[in-house]
Amino acid sequence: MKTLSTQSPDFSAQLDALLAFETAQDPATDRAVADICQDVQTRGDAAVLEYTARFDGLDAPDMAALTLHAGDLAAAFARLPDHVRSALETAAARIRRYHEKQKLQSWQYLDEDGTLLGQQITALDRVGIYVPGGKAAYPSSVLMNALPAQVAGVGEIIMVVPTPKGERNDIVLAAAHLAGVKRVFTIGGAQAVAALAYGTQTVPQVDKITGPGNAYVAAAKRRVFGTVGIDMVAGPSEILVIADGSVPADWVAMDLFSQAEHDEIAQAILIAPSQRYLNDVQNAIARLIEDMPRRDIIRAALNNRGAMILVRDLDEACAVANRIAPEHLELCVNNPEQWAAKIRHAGAIFMGGHTSESLGDYCAGPNHVLPTSRSARFSSPLGTYDFQKRSSLIRVSPEGAQKLGQTASVLAHGEGLTAHARAAEMRMVQHVII
């Protein structure tokens, strides 16, 4: 792992280089995705079936063969070993409880003239959850995407998950059952995103698509954005640990691994005010890595994009963290609340030695879909609020129309919009009472 020090004169440039990540979209991928989306929009099911045969090696006679209903999901749930079913249930209950607290509520008030102002909250009618398939099957991702939609009161949750060569994952389907998914299409890639965005003869059009996917899925989501809502387009996962030396070095090393094991471009950074502690963690890494089944990926990630940063003190550590705006921030320190209050930009803040990031990934309650690539500067974790929306409410009283009309008239004339002004002025004729 690289070692940086804030005392180095070129620390700032070194940090920029460490965080740099090329998010540029590949033009060839973009063109391929544009063609697939266009084709699905034009030919519907027929196009989806063809791409599924070609990309997933799954030759289905019709969309019915690629559709799972509530009964299929319940059956998958029932087939699970007890300890897995119970773990899923525990996680779902905790995630649901946390996300209940995020629900937006409608509100309104009257001003002095009796004019009503407010905000009406509604849930989305129908959403699509994209779940990656094949080797990397993540039931936790099903819970984290579908449960907030369910808590929000979304009318219908549709899931798509590719099943290359027909291989289905029971835990994924069981998670869908728990999270209120009513229908699953075993399709994936850009064709699945396009089917959800435009609708086909079989796949109903949704209002928003969330969930992670590969480069084709990401490009397709960018393309259909506007026709439907999307969640963020995620970059590689990141963890930043700030440690004061009070948490065992082995624990911190394992937390860095748990980020690095995702893939070779994941980023794991440790910040501490003590070179000795950094060395301790480095030694723990060297000792523990050999037991890790995914050690090659971990090693590549730590070498590629990992770093240890020596700082003067914890205040400086927080300042560096705010510049990095990490997806996951662990405060492995005493009095973590005191330091959390200084953090302005982070997707999730894990406080104290017992709060491993992996507890948050699965079951603490908060969402594990978090802003990556410094986007915690301006965005938030996926939440219930992402499946609700607001409509402004205005009811101007006859008295209010007299006063507001004057203001609107002046400003509308200032902008050269005469009809705007006249519409306001017409309501100022006192003798017309509605």
* Binding-site annotation, residues: 130, 191, 214, 237, 259, 262, 328, 361, 415, 420
CB of 379 to a copy of itself, least distance (A): 6
Binding-site residues for substrate, in ranges, read 237, 259, 262, 328, 361, 415, 420
CB of 182 to a copy of itself, least distance (A): 19
Q: Do residues 179 and 62 touch, judged by C-beta distance below 8 A?
A: no
Measured from the CB atom, the residue of 238 and 361 that comes closer to a copy of itself is 361
Measured from the CB atom, the residue of 7 and 335 that comes closer to a copy of itself is 335
CA distance 190 to 400: 51
Which 8-state DSSP code applies to residue 347? S
Task: Select which of 238, 261, 327, 357 is catalytic.
Answer: 327
Measured from the CB atom, the residue of 66 and 175 that comes closer to a copy of itself is 175
Residue for token digits 């009811």?
395
Largest CA distance in the chain: 86
CA distance 400 to 115: 6
CB of 246 to a copy of itself, least distance (A): 7
* DSSP assignment string, 204-251: PP-SEEE----HHHHHHHHHHBTTBEE-------EEEEEE-S-S-HHH
**Dihedral sign, CA of 193, 215, 184, 91?**
negative
Q: Do residues 364 and 94 touch, judged by C-beta distance below 8 A?
A: yes
CA distance 383 to 101: 10
Measured from the CB atom, the residue of 52 and 188 that comes closer to a copy of itself is 188
Measured from the CB atom, the residue of 53 and 411 that comes closer to a copy of itself is 411
Q: Would residue 368 show up in a list of annotated catalytic residues for this protein? A: no
Which residues are within 8 A (CB) of 17 and not within 5 positions of it... i.e. 6 or more apart?
A: none
Left (φ > 0), alpha (ψ -120 to 50) or beta: where does 340 sit? Answer: alpha
CA distance 289 to 257: 8
Q: Would residue 83 show up in a list of annotated catalytic residues for this protein? A: no
CB of 317 to a copy of itself, least distance (A): 16
Q: Do residues 306 and 298 touch, judged by C-beta distance below 8 A?
A: no
Measured from the CB atom, the residue of 49 and 233 that comes closer to a copy of itself is 233
CA distance 20 to 296: 23
Measured from the CB atom, the residue of 7 and 303 that comes closer to a copy of itself is 303
| H or E element, residue 159 | strand 156-160
Q: Do residues 259 and 268 touch, judged by C-beta distance below 8 A?
A: yes
CA distance 357 to 256: 9
CB of 398 to a copy of itself, least distance (A): 5
Nearest Cα residue to 72 out of 176, 201, 142:
176
| H or E element, residue 171 | helix 170-178
Binding-site residues for Zn(2+), in ranges, read 259, 262, 361, 420
CB of 236 to a copy of itself, least distance (A): 13
Task: Select which of 99, 177, 328, 368 is catalytic.
Answer: 328
* DSSP assignment string, 270-295: EEES-HHHHHHHHHHHHHHGGG-TTH
Which 8-state DSSP code applies to residue 309? E
CB of 184 to a copy of itself, least distance (A): 19
Active site residues: 327-328
